Chain A
Amino acid sequence: MAKILVGMSTCGLSAGARDTYEELKKLLSDDSSHELTLTGCIGMCYREPLVEIRDNGTRTIYGDVDAGRAREIVDKHLANGTVIEDYAVYTEDASGRKGGAEEPFLTQQNRIVLRNCGVINPESIDEYTERGGYEATRRALTVMTPEQVVGEIKESGLRGRGGAGFPTGIKWSFAAGNDADQKYVVCNADEGDPGAFMDRSVLEGDPHAVLEGMIICGKAIGATFGYIYCRAEYPLAIARLEIAIEAARKKGYLGDDILGSGFDFDIKIKQGAGAFVCGEETALFASIEGERGMPRIRPPFPAEQGVWGKPTNNNNVETYANIPWIIVNGASAFRKYGTEKSPGTKVFALVGKIEKGGLAEVPMGTSIEELVFGIGGGIKDGGEFKPVQMGGPSGGCIPEHLKNTPVDFEHIPQTGAIMGSGGMVVLDATTCMVDIARFFLDFTQEESCGKCTCCRIGTKRMLETLERITTGEGNTEDIAHLQHLAQQIKQASLCGLGQTAPNPVLTTIDYYEDEYIAHISDKHCPAANCSALVSFNIDRDKCTGCTLCVRDCPVDAISGGKKQFHVIDQGKCVKCGKCITSCNFDAVYKA
């Protein structure tokens, strides 16, 4: 009997996994010898929808499975055991020998956080416990003392995966050391950095790991209640968490007297309402309390006064997902991965102009080059690598010549970027660095809560300046003006949003000042990206008058009949580039 797993997390669904699943369900409806189920994200987003067949100890993962391929899999693989080599992305035979086109993508990783993602059905607590789930909870609650739990986490050297990298065990010991009638465990699942989706994948693919991390934290610090603050843009993550919490309650892992240990703990989901600043912990607490999500001054730190003014420990999703593994395998096993000061692994979202976009978990200290070119397969369509953007709107761009930088909490900040939560956006030669800076300032300006004047007005002024530069209206003082404003905003803002908002501008000026100068002095965008500074044209010598671009143009901006030269109406053109890709004669060019 074979087990068929369809990857049904948001990436899979956006690639059409629902249709694939429905087709398989229909085809297998009168065949009870196979089990059809769903799973989370295995990280190969670039080959979604993914379907895995497990049969007699073998595994075969197929990529790009639409309804047609689903039928072929049923006809060939399930009916007579023939593996369809053409789109088998990963295979494992009964003796454990691995193969398939994308085998290196998976085998170059060390999966601790993602241990169950794409492996189990996230909606089944039984599949989680079969893989050793809730063993850590049992140990922490019935064998270990709270001091031992804190000690083990301290010993592991685990540092917060949300971006700041504060040692988790030390943070726990602060909250544990404060006496109060009530304490709280908070899980920050407000993954707001655009370009990062590690936490979403963990919540959608292995929600129980996060619950376990929180239960163990509760025991360690003496808290009996936890909140998961999850952003509203992740409806599937919230749905899977709800199923997981309900199942954990039924099995007695949440509620009163868990596993007969006398320890009570329960968890509630608080859905975010669309404010990036709520990723900042004091703003997050305010939001949980039903207020506008505006940060406040620290101290008092959350370990003294967090949610409802009570001692609170706040970690992010990935941090909690590491906890059960550390409790079961021990701190020294964890320290075998990563570097001395940044032990363990880190999950990265490889996106942008990269060949193999997806999720990869590697030991801390792996270089950018290994990630982008080794696992990620290099730049999309053989393009030219420019920088990689890390840390989202708070981070910066790391240029090509620093691609050997080890990715950990020590080395990344030296480049001017930050570790952030793990979003790695790869940019190529067609990306304009001034536009990237403008993009992030547009983001932070809109997301500033408005409390600090320098953040509220300063980011607006920086954005206006960048908009002028990208539309060819910049002047020579603009670069110095941006740097001056950046320093003021960094110094005079209360929370991380304002303190880091200028980073994308500062790092792009540092590494790509010539691009700023080209926009300002030559009114030229070297990447041919800023629409005010480029136009689309058709080369009369190359145009054969085939009308393909005329028909493909979404806004009917191209005129000309058969065998006539085609002309682009610059007033109507939205500069989408569709004509460039549709032309078979390279007649359309950007200038």
Chain B
Amino acid sequence: MSKRCIDPAKAREIAERYPAGDGTGLIHALQDVQAAFGYVPCEAVEVLCEHLGVPISKAFSATTFYKAFSLTPKGDVVIRICTGTACHIRGAQTLVDEIRAVLSIEPGETTEDMKFTLETVNCVGACAMAPVVSLNGEYHGGVQPGAATRMIRGEE
């Protein structure tokens, strides 16, 4: 995994949006960190925990419990394939297999050049448009085999 340096001032700025010594803001603060950096860097966790007055173990307990958090950096393009029921029966697994084959990564992994991350998501709630794929939060419905690959090629 490649290491990226983070700006500690940015982590501090996020921490200070929440009252000092109040641990109840932990998940919200972690969500802000995830949004700002694209993942939860260990250095940011330290800054956050010190400010909120909670042990670091509690932050890791939360980040490993909730799926929205990632402890590793993500690629420039995050490909999320919905694998909810409607997408599943309309071929979501095929799309996952296709992207796995094209990018040589498993779901949850990032390509070595940090360009793409492949993720699956339980349901994005656009079931009538199944199967659904999102690229950096932009939704595409009715994705046919081959179309997902073309979308990725378009991002290259």
Contacts and interface: CB of A to CB of B under 8 A. Distances in A.
Interface of A: 10-11, 13-15, 45-46, 48, 191-197, 200, 232-235, 270-276, 287, 289-293, 349-353, 357-359, 389, 392, 423, 425, 427, 431, 436, 439-440, 443, 447, 449, 552, 554-555, 574-578
Given A14-B126, A275-B67, A351-B128, A392 B98 contact: no
Given A196-B127, A290-B62, A357-B129, 9 more contacts: A14-B129, A194-B85, A194-B122, A195-B86, A195-B123, A273-B68, A273-B69, A290-B25, A293-B65
Contacts of B121: 233
B97 to A, nearest CB: 4
A51 B56 CA distance: 51
Given A13-B139, A290-B23, A351-B130, A554 B98 contact: yes
A576 B94 contact: yes
Contacts of B87: 194
A554 B153 CA distance: 12
B65 A351 contact: no
A197 B125 contact: yes
Nearest to B123: A194
B84 interface: yes
Nearest to A449: B65
B122 A14 contact: no
Contacts of B89: 352-353, 425, 427, 431, 436
A10 B137 contact: no
Contact of B128 (A357, A443, A574, A576): A357
A200 B65 contact: no
Nearest to A574: B97
Nearest to B84: A194
Which one of B25, B84, B90, B144 has the highest number of Cβ atoms from chain A below 10 Å of its Cβ? B84
Contact of B61 (A273, A292, A358, A439): A292
Contacts of A290: 23-28, 62
B101 A292 contact: no
B67 A11 contact: no
Contacts of A234: 125
Q: Across chains A and B, which 7 residue pairs bring their CB atoms closest together, nearest first?
A: A194-B84, A274-B67, A45-B128, A273-B66, A357-B128, A14-B139, A197-B125
A449 B64 CA distance: 11
Interface in B49-108: 61-62, 65-69, 83-91, 94, 97-98, 101-102
A518 B23 CA distance: 55
22 contacts: A10-B126, A193-B123, A194-B86, A195-B84, A197-B123, A197-B125, A197-B128, A272-B68, A273-B31, A290-B26, A290-B27, A292-B61, A292-B66, A293-B65, A293-B66, A351-B86, A425-B89, A439-B85, A447-B122, A554-B98, A554-B149, A574-B97
B85 to A, nearest CB: 4
B124 interface: yes
B146 interface: yes
A10 B66 contact: no
Contacts of B62: 273, 290-292
A324 B57 CA distance: 45
B50 to A, nearest CB: 16
A552 B126 contact: no
A235 B31 contact: no
B130 to A, nearest CB: 7
A449 B68 CA distance: 15
A276 B68 CA distance: 12
Interface string B12-28: 00000000000111111
Contact of A276 (B102, B122, B130, B144): B122
Given A349-B128, A392-B85, A425-B85, A235 B137 contact: yes
Nearest to B64: A292
Which one of A270, A274, A275, A349 has the highest number of Cβ atoms from chain B below 10 Å of its Cβ? A274
Nearest to B66: A273
A189 to B, nearest CB: 11
Nearest to B137: A235
A195 B85 contact: yes
B122 A443 contact: yes
Contacts of A359: 128
A351 to B, nearest CB: 4
A274 B68 contact: yes
B85 A357 contact: no
Which one of B30, B31, B85 has the highest number of Cβ atoms from chain A below 10 Å of its Cβ? B85
B125 A10 contact: yes
